Structure 1
């Protein structure tokens, strides 16, 4: 998402992979079990560490690390390619906020087909009761849900575009980093607000056992949203929002800074 002239696809892909792994290593925290017994984020951390050990916080980290490289690589590379397509289709010389939203949603849909298998494995590995049973499961269950989740997340690209336009023009490298952190953090926060409900029902659908002859309680995206709201209230769609936004908000800033820095390095390397 650098303002410089775009580099070829392979450079976008490589920079996205590096940025994704950096974000995963800096912001990862695994999940414990028995979420209903936690009174809040701090209580959850304390009980997991006390009852299961500090290492439990990083259960299943191998799957997110393997997931983040192709996920973010696809994100930035697809965003660049879709941007070219839409600018040409609409006859626009430069990117606008509307095109940024459309491009981000298209990139999110593209990314979802790469991420779903790794996402499912990550959820199963983080679940203590089933970690040993799903070491090689790569079913594409929930691909439509993941597509909705990621598309809603990447609609925040329009927010990043708007924030960057409101910030003072960066005259130095330090100012550029500051702008990227601010724009990425705001974009990550807005994306989290938009995608959390769909992410909640996605996890429930992926964890629902499949029994022959029975329709699962959580069977499809919007129907699952309705079931959750009816039985538990609207607030249930935002369960776990605070720790998620505290990770993904700043994570968006980290992602943007690393990606921009790596792209600048590639430009220098190419002369």
Structure 2
């Protein structure tokens, strides 16, 4: 039996290509994502640790120094081992499979549906920037809704090592995390923080995918750099930086809402995204919303490069298959 036509048909789907490219990029840049999450939660570490001592009858206020990305990386390696940099990687890969395959596939589908063949000969995609952004916003929202459970598991697994040993969740894998969350808090808990996740995904997808297409078309039209790898790298880096700038504040709030520990009979630390943002700014200052920006932008650049290069190579291989 000839499997070639079947393989081409499957791989030719934009959903599959986008998912595979993002899984590769997510795995490659996971340590930077973990460092970002740890930095975003720095302001909460002292409070959580102090609470733990208070519950033991030791009302001690812990003041922990805030460290940068390099210091955070060294701290993780020294206290938890080098393998800890890949804590939650199974959830990260699942998240990319669900989230990115949906958003990239839907974005490409909407572009195909909305394009103007007459403009395509001049502009590359035949789609104005406004329509690209609209397609990206819709695609990002859909991807976030699908991928929120894996995103929640990933954040918790990445953040677990920073807690005192008796407060850690100690998930064995993404499957274990999802099963335990459903058992303990119900099925709806898998979509905790989904409003913030959707908002972030819409911003990231618009800044990433629409920007990549727009910059690629501008570079090609004006012949600013040689076509091929150079164009892809410049467009990827630009998209990554812009995505980091617009998404970091929402990402900080999302991380804190997802990671909050809700105790039976007690009100949750945050009642929602706005409450979290307000409390964060009030207690730590407005720049707290940009915690983890350096590892975020450091990750977004390589992530975008690996993802878009992988995507372009898949398309090129399929064209010659």
TM-score, with structure 1 as normaliser: 0.85
1:152 paired with 2:208, answer: no
Instruction: Give the match's secondary structure for 1:217.
Output: coil
Does the CA-based 8 Å contact 1:101-1:155 persist in structure 2? yes
Does the CA-based 8 Å contact 1:170-1:179 persist in structure 2? no
Does the CA-based 8 Å contact 2:156-2:258 persist in structure 1? no
**Which residue of structure 1 lines up, in the alignment, with residue 187 of structure 2?**
none
**Which residue of structure 1 lines up, in the alignment, with residue 76 of structure 2?**
48
* Equivalent of residue 104 in structure 1, options 99, 115, 136: 136
Structure showing greater radius of gyration is 2
1:67 Cα offset (Å): 1.8
**Which residue of structure 2 lines up, in the alignment, with residue 76 of structure 1?**
104
1:267 Cα offset (Å): 2.4
1:97 Cα offset (Å): 1.1
Counterpart Cα distance in 2 of 1:74 and 1:264: 21
Instruction: Give the match's secondary structure for 2:88.
Output: coil
1:159 Cα offset (Å): 2.4
**Which residue of structure 1 lines up, in the alignment, with residue 170 of structure 2?**
131
Number of matched residues? 259
Does the CA-based 8 Å contact 1:16-1:72 persist in structure 2? yes
C-alpha spacing 1:81/1:162, structure 2 compared with 1 (3 Å): closer
Does the CA-based 8 Å contact 1:48-1:54 persist in structure 2? yes
Give the 5 Å matches for 1:221-236. 221-236=273-288
Q: Which has the higher helix share?
A: 2
**Which residue of structure 1 lines up, in the alignment, with residue 148 of structure 2?**
116
Instruction: Give the match's secondary structure for 1:175.
Output: coil
Instruction: Give the match's secondary structure for 2:200.
Output: helix
Does the CA-based 8 Å contact 1:164-1:179 persist in structure 2? yes
**Which residue of structure 2 lines up, in the alignment, with residue 23 of structure 1?**
25
Instruction: Give the match's secondary structure for 2:228.
Output: helix
1:37 Cα offset (Å): 3.6
Instruction: Give the match's secondary structure for 1:178.
Output: helix
Counterpart Cα distance in 1 of 2:272 and 2:114: 31
Give the 5 Å matches for 1:1-271. 11-29=13-31, 30-31=34-35, 35=42, 36-87=64-115, 94-126=126-158, 127-128=160-161, 129-132=168-171, 135=177, 136=179, 137=181, 139-156=190-207, 157-168=209-220, 175-211=227-263, 214-269=266-321
Counterpart Cα distance in 1 of 2:219 and 2:200: 28
Does the CA-based 8 Å contact 1:20-1:71 persist in structure 2? no
1:189 Cα offset (Å): 1.3
TM-score, with structure 2 as normaliser: 0.72
Instruction: Give the match's secondary structure for 2:171.
Output: helix
C-alpha spacing 1:170/1:261, structure 2 compared with 1 (3 Å): farther
Does the CA-based 8 Å contact 1:16-1:259 persist in structure 2? yes
Does the CA-based 8 Å contact 1:189-1:248 persist in structure 2? yes
Instruction: Give the match's secondary structure for 2:156.
Output: helix
1:216 Cα offset (Å): 2.7
C-alpha spacing 1:64/1:86, structure 2 compared with 1 (3 Å): same
C-alpha spacing 1:15/1:158, structure 2 compared with 1 (3 Å): closer
